[in-house]
Structures are given as structure tokens and as C-alpha cells.
Amino acid sequence: MTGNDMKAEQKELKVETAILKQVTIAYLILVHRFPEQFKRLFKALYHPENYYLIHLDKKTGIGIYEDIEEFLTDFPNTYILESENVVWGGYSMIQVELNGIKYLLNLNIKWDFFINLSGQDYPLKSQKIIREYLTKNIGNNFIKIENQLTKRPDTMNRIENYFVETDNGFSGVPYKRAYLKDVIPYIGGQWMILTRECCEFICNSGEAKKFKDYYLNTLIADESFFQTVLMNTSFDGKLINDDKRAIIWIPDGDIKLRPKTFTDEDINFLLEGDNLFARKFDDNIDNKIIDSMESSFDLPLNKAKQIIMPAANTGCALAVIVKRKADHQNIDRQNERQPTLRKIKRGVSQPTSRHKNTTFNFARPLQNPSSTRQLDR
């Protein structure tokens, strides 16, 4: 065997070893209805080396809660997050995400990526393919990002007005206020794939506190909070302008856009891309589309075209936004809201803190209501 042959064999061995050491994923799944559809989703997502945290909206009712809790007892590495009353468009959606991320970090177990999903999402690929893909993308965070001021100016009313969230919606009339000084607002979507390091930064960095305080009283913060934090702080990880989700946005009455409910006519759209997940699905509308998708679960991903966007503060076009390195040594953690913990089934502690909100009511019209986009949970 020649020296070149030996080097080639060693390289192949290293590749095989790397493939065997696949990443571990921590999923947060937000559920508020359709328990049977959730169970099918969960079974498609489940892998014994991953971790699964389920949030059941308080509005789901005790029957659905107990049904899903019993279902999950058959699966190791599954946990139930303290239920919150989640209001569409309210900061409660962000608070559940933050509670979930902190919960997963506090488990003191090793995981590499965090992925959030709703109960009406579904994977386009098997866990084998998804884990292989993320193993090749160690250190990359996948989240839709664009400059809100220049690309989505019609949505600036969401963050330039002061909103008050209630248990049922929003109350009072929003009023104008000054936005955060020296901060560029960014927007994208609620869905993301984040590294553990990114999650630790969002939860533990004192830099994030002013954003949590400000976005507490904004509208549809789930589309812009994480993007704005990551682009305006010393976070130095890689951000890919892609959330790996297949979604078709369609008009819906007074609401500007909503995600289309997929039917079998959308199968080509779902299978031709390089996405890992899709939303949304409703078995009451089409219970065959998922069967059609599953035939391609183990097929390799299509090669993606890079998504080009301007990099922050550089003026150049990059597919990957690389934040410059910064000093993370002096992180102030004392001012962070720390969720209290209590014991639940399987002896796991979980956050119980509720964000402090006054309330809004959608009975009163919002300013420029046509500029809001529904983020269907």
C-alpha cells in the first residue's frame, strides 16, 4: 500500500468516525390542539439519543394534557414544560421559548442543537438524515433574518408601539414610543435551529436583558426578538439566513398572511426543496399528505442554493452572517429572570415563572392592522 493509499484510507476512516458521532438534538414542541396529530409527529421525530420537551398550552384542557402525558411515558428522554397561557402575537410566545431553552439547559445533559416546532409541523426527513445534516453543520445557527427597517418597514408598528398583553389578547390602545437606542431591528420568523452555545448566550448573557424588557410590550415579538438580540450583541456565532422550513404564506382576510395548510397538491413543493421540516398540516383537511411525504424520508437532501443577504455592518453580501468575536467574560447574570423549578412526573424540574404583563384586547383595533402577519401557532 502506498503512502497516498494509506492517507486516503485514514481520511475515509475519519469520515466514517465523524458520521458515527452524530449530534444530539433537543426539541421543543408547542402543542395547543390535535393530540392524535401530535402523536404522529412525535413518533416521526423520536430518536432515543435526542431529547424532547413538550409545552401544552393552558387552553388545551385537562383531557388533552393527560392524554399526551400518558402517551409520553413510553418514550425515554421526554419532558413536559409548565403550561403557560400563550396569546397569539404576545410576548408569552417568547417566554415559553425562553422557558423551554432554559429548562433544556438546566437538565445538565449534553445536546448540540435546539429545534422548536409546533404540533402542526412535520419533518420532511428522517432523524437519521436530519442528524447527519446538522453533524455537518456544527456551529451553524439556522434562522430567517432581514433588516426590519429596510426590508419590512410595514411591520415597524409592531415594535414602535407599546402593547399590553392580557390572558385573552391585548388591552387598551397602543401608543408610540422610542425604539431601543443604537439598535437595528431585525425580523424573520419564529422557527429556528440554534446551537447550544447560542441558546446559552440568549439565556445567560446580560446583554439580552434590555431586549427582553423592551420586547415584552411589542406585537408578534416571536418573529423578531431572537434575530434582533443575535444581531445587536457580542454573540459571535454563525447565523445562516434559512430556518430549514417549508412554508407557503397566503392572504387571509384582514390578516396579511398566514401559513397555508398543506394538501396533496403541494407534494412537489414539499419534496423538491432542501428543507428539514414543513408547516402546517391539519388531518381534518388532508390526512393523506403526510403519507405521501414519508416515502422520501430517507432520501438525501437536495443540494441547497445559498441564500444571499447583506452581512450586518459590512455592506458585503454573504450567505453566512459571521458575528465578530467579542469579550464574553463580563456577563451579568444577576439581572436575568430565573424560572423557578418544581418537580413533575418522572422527577424532572421545570420552569414555572410567568412573564409580568399587563393585558391587551384585540376588540380594539390596532394601528395599521393590515401590516400584521399571523404567526399561526
Return the C-alpha torsion angle 75, 81, 83, 89, nearest 10: -110
Residue 313: left if φ>0, alpha if ψ -120 to 50, beta else—which one? left
275: confidence class by pLDDT, cuts 50, 70, 90: very high
Helix H segments across the chain?
3-20, 35-45, 62-72, 92-106, 127-135, 148-151, 157-160, 196-204, 209-215, 225-231, 267-272, 289-294
In whole angstroms, what is the distance from residue 39 CA to residue 61 CA? Answer: 17
Length of the chain: 377
Q: Which residue has the higher pLDDT, 341 or 151?
A: 151
Using DSSP bridges, classify how beta strands 78-81 and 113-118 pair: parallel, antiparallel or unpaired. Answer: unpaired
Angle at Cα 368 formed by Cα 366 and Cα 373, nearest 5°? 85
Q: Which residue has the higher pLDDT, 113 or 273?
A: 113
Angle at Cα 59 formed by Cα 357 and Cα 95, nearest 5°? 35
> Is the per-residue pLDDT at 155 higher than 80?
yes
* Cβ atoms < 10 Å from Cβ of 273: 17
Per-residue pLDDT of 286-333, as tens digits, reads 989 999 998 899 998 875 433 333 344 433 333 455 443 333 322 232
Per-residue pLDDT of 346-355, as tens digits, reads 333 333 333 3
272: confidence class by pLDDT, cuts 50, 70, 90: confident
In whole angstroms, what is the distance from residue 343 CA to residue 281 CA? Answer: 33
364: confidence class by pLDDT, cuts 50, 70, 90: very low
How many helices (DSSP H) and strands (DSSP E) are in the chain?
A: 12, 19
> Of 29, 38, 33, whose CA–CA distance to 60 is shortest?
33
Sign for the CA dihedral angle at 146, 152, 155, 161 comes to: positive
Q: Which residue has the higher pLDDT, 342 or 2?
A: 2
Which residues are bridge partners to 165 per DSSP?
Answer: 170
163: confidence class by pLDDT, cuts 50, 70, 90: very high
337: confidence class by pLDDT, cuts 50, 70, 90: very low
Per-residue pLDDT of 170-186, as tens digits, reads 987 889 999 999 999 99
Q: At 332, is the secondary structure helix, strand, or coil?
A: coil
Residues 190, 139: contact at Cβ < 8 Å?
no
